[in-house]
Amino acid sequence: MKIFTAEKIKAGDQFTIKNEPITSIALMERAAQKCVDWILTYCKNHHKFAVFCGNGNNGGDGFAIARMLYLKGFDVDVFIDSSNEKFSDDAHFNYEKVKEISGISIYDFSAIDKFKFDNDTVIVDALFGTGLSRKLEGKFVWLINALNDLKQVKISIDVPSGLFSDQISEENQTILKADYTLSFQFWKRTFLHPETGKFTGKVIVLDIDLNKEYIDETSTDYFVIDDEIIKEIFRPRSDFAHKGTYGRAAIVAGSFGKMGAAVLATKSTLKTGTGLTFTVAPNCGYEILQTSCPEAMFVSGGEKCIENIEIQKETVYGIGPGLGTDILTKKALIEFLNDVKEPLLLDADALNIISESRETINLIPKNSVITPHPKEFERLFGKTENSFKRVELGIRKAKELQIFIVLKDHHTQIITPEGKVFYNITGNSGLAKGGSGDILTGIITSLLAQKYSPETACILGVWLHGKAADLTAEKISKESMLPTDVIGELGNVFLDLNKKVTTLL
C-alpha cells in the first residue's frame, strides 16, 4: 500500500470527484458511511456518541457520522465551536442537515465542563483531520486536554486532532490520544513512528474507493507492507524441487556464553526453508548446536569465539548474533569483509564491530543487508533528533553504500538503495525480548539463500517475523511469548500464505 502526503491525498479526492464523477458531498457521505459501518460492527456495546466537529471537512465527516448514527437508533450529541460557525461548504451542508434533526443536541465545546459522559459513551474526534498545518493553540489546547482526561473510548476520524500527517510533532504538542483511528484509504507516516504513532491507538484503514488510476499512477517513496505486496513476493515451493534448489546459508554466530543466539538464528534459518544450512561457530558451542539444530552442519570457527570465517562458494552469510567483540573476532570479520564480494547480512555484534571504523563500514558488499536496532544505527551513522530524521539519514546511507537497511522498530522500516521505505505493520511488543533479532537474521538470510532479491527478502522476512509473533501472542500472550515460540509459528504463517497464493483447480 502506498503512503501519500496530505497534499497528495487531497489531490486524490479532487481527481476522484472530477473523474468518477462524484460530488464532494457524495464522497464525504461515502467516507462517513464507511466509518459508521465499522462502528456498527465493533461498537455494539455502546449506545451513546459525542461527536466533536471542527469547521473544515473533517468536521463535515463528523456531522455526517452523527446523522447516520442517530438514524441507526443511537443517542448522539454534537459539539462545535459556536463562536465561529464559518464552516467549509461541505461541512456547512452537513451541519444544516444535523440541525434539522430535533433528536440531536448541539452544544458548544465549553459545555463539556459540566456534561456528564456515561461509560456507555464513545467520543468521536472530527475536529481537524489531515488539514492541520500548525500546532493547536488557545481553546483547542484546552479542549483536547479535556478530552484526553475523559476515560471514554475515543475514535478519531482520519487523523487524531493535533497530529500532523507528514511530519514529526513538536515536543509537548497537544494531540488527542485516540483508542482507534479510522483512516481514509491510506496510512499516514506519523502513524508509523514511535513519537507520533502512540496517539493513534489501533489504526483501521477504510477503503473509500478513491480513484484507482490516481493511486496507481501517483508516485511515492513510502509504502506499507500489506497482504497484496506479500502475495506478489512469495513463491510457493515446487513439487519437483530438491535441497539444491533452495540455496545454502551460513550463520556466523555465537561465542562463549552466547550460543543461544546462534541456536535461534540457525533454527529460524532452517524453519524458513533453506536447502542447506551451516552454522559457523566456536567449538565451545559444538554439542549445543548439534543437539539443538541437528539439521544444520557445524563448521568450526575457533575455540571460544569466532577466529576465522572461511568463504564457501554459493553461500549466503548471516553474521552477528551472539558474536561478541573479541579482538580475534574483529580481525576475522574484517579479513572476511576484505575478501567477500557477494551480498550478505550483518547484524548485532557484526554491526558493532564495523561501526568502530568508517573504512570498515565501506567494506560492506553492495546489495548487502544490515539489520540495526536504533542504538546500533546510531553507532554506525550518528545520532538523530527523532525517528523521522533517522529514516532520512538511513535513506542517505543506503544510497551512499548501496545497501539495504532494515531499521528495527515497532514498525520496522526497510530502506532500499533507491531511497524507497517500506513500513512493516505485523508484529507486537512481545518481540521486545533478547533473541528476537537473531530470529530475523535467520529468516532474511534464508530468503536470500533461496534467491529472493535483497529487497523482497527484507520485505517478506520482516513480515514473516512479525506475523509469526502475532500468531504467538494470540495463543500465549505478548508477555509470555519467547523467541523460540515465534520460530514455532513460522510453519503456520507459511501454511496460511500458501493457501492465499495457491489457486485450486
Complete DSSP assignment for 368-415: -EE---HHHHHHHH---SSHHHHHHHHHHHHHHHT-EEEE-STT-EEE
Written as nine digits, the cell of 160 is 487524531
Number of neighbours of residue 242 by Cβ within 10 angstroms: 8
What is the average per-residue pLDDT within 285-290?
Answer: 97
Average pLDDT over residues 247-269: 98
- Cα separation of 403 and 370, whole Å? 8
Task: Dump pLDDT digits (tens) for 215-245.
Answer: 999 999 999 999 999 999 999 998 888 888 8
pLDDT tens, residue by residue, 89-125:
999 999 999 999 999 999 999 999 889 899 899 999 9
Q: How far apart are CA 423 and CA 446, in angstroms?
A: 21
Average pLDDT of the residues in 342-368? 96
Q: In the CATH scheme, what architecture does the domain 231-379+398-501 have? A: 3-Layer(aba) Sandwich (3.40)
The least confident of 84-88, 381-385, 433-437 is 84-88
- Per domain, the residue ranges of the chain are 6-220, 231-379+398-501
For range 42-63, the mean pLDDT: 95
pLDDT band at 333 (very low <50, low <70, confident <90, very high): very high
How confident is the model at residue 505, as a pLDDT? Answer: 39
Cell numbers standing for residue 434: 533478547
Q: How many residues does the chain have?
A: 505
d(CA 54, CA 80): 7
* Mean pLDDT, rounded, for 356-372: 96
Average pLDDT over residues 428-447: 97
**Cα 469 to Cα 492: distance, rounded to the nearest angstrom:** 11
Residue 504, pLDDT > 60, answer no
pLDDT band at 129 (very low <50, low <70, confident <90, very high): confident
Confidence of residue 172 (pLDDT cuts 50, 70, 90): confident
Q: What percent of the chain has pLDDT over 70?
A: 99
SS3 54: coil
pLDDT of residue 132: 80
> How far is residue 29's CA from residue 154's CA, in Å, rounded to a whole number?
21
Distance of CA 206 to the CA centre of its chain: 17
User: What mean pLDDT is reported for the chain?
Assistant: 96
Quick one: average pLDDT of 332-354? 97
pLDDT at 503: 61
Q: Assess contact for 369 and 320: CB atoms under 8 A.
A: no
Band of pLDDT at residue 171, cut at 50, 70 and 90: confident
pLDDT in tens, 368-413: 999 999 999 999 999 999 999 999 999 999 999 999 999 999 999 9
For a pLDDT cut of 90, what percent of the chain falls above it? 92
In CATH, which of 2.60.120.10, 3.20.20.80, 2.30.30.240, 3.40.50.10260 is domain 6-220?
A: 3.40.50.10260
For 1, other C-beta atoms within 10 Å of its C-beta total: 18
Cα 462–308–353 angle (5° rounding)?
55
Q: Reading across the β-sheet that carries 180-184, which strands appear in turn?
A: 105-108, 75-80, 48-53, 121-126, 153-157, 180-184, 202-206
pLDDT (tens digit per residue) in 192-203: 999 999 999 999
